[in-house]
Amino acid sequence: MKNKKAFTLIEVLTASLLLSISIGSVLYSFIIHERITYDNSYRREAYVILQSKMEDYINMGGELLEIDLKSGVYPKNGVFEASAAGKHKYILNFIGKKALTFKNILNKNGRYIKLTGSVSWISASGGNEIVDLSTYIIYNTAE
């Protein structure tokens, strides 16, 4: 009976421990990968919402945006529900700085407004995420 080759109890327990640690770390990497994928899809969707609304304000033109600034209608807040991985709420906020005057290359008066937009949401990991975009809207005055 002494000539038979077999594993001892210590060797079997050590191999089981190493196998369970390696399987556990591989399974944990799948969880982390899923969380990163959800966070990236939310971030991408937030940028699309923000860029779309920013384009709406750019297409509105500086004159109308300046009227909104003077009338107190601005900034405009909104809550969007979107579905990257189920329903998710995004909070949209825009801030416009007062129009500033400059002389263009034809020595005519021009104006610009700095428009900054941000979208915030609660990520899959539970943290508060935010993305920002800024642009300058330039337009000529009638003067």
Q: Please list the pLDDT of the chain residue by residue as tens digits (143 residues).
A: 566 788 899 999 999 999 999 999 999 999 888 888 888 888 888 888 888 888 887 887 777 776 665 654 444 445 555 544 455 677 777 777 666 677 766 666 777 777 888 888 887 777 888 888 888 887 766 55
pLDDT value for 18: 95
Best CA proximity match to 80, nearest among 112, 116, 100, 52:
52
Please tell me the distance from the alpha carbon of residue 25 to that of residue 110, in angstroms, as a whole number.
60
| pLDDT value at residue 69 | 59
Interatomic CA distance for residues 23 and 12, integer angstroms: 16
- Token pair 């001892």: residue: 8
Pairing verdict, β 100-103 and 109-122 = antiparallel
The pLDDT of residue 34 is 86
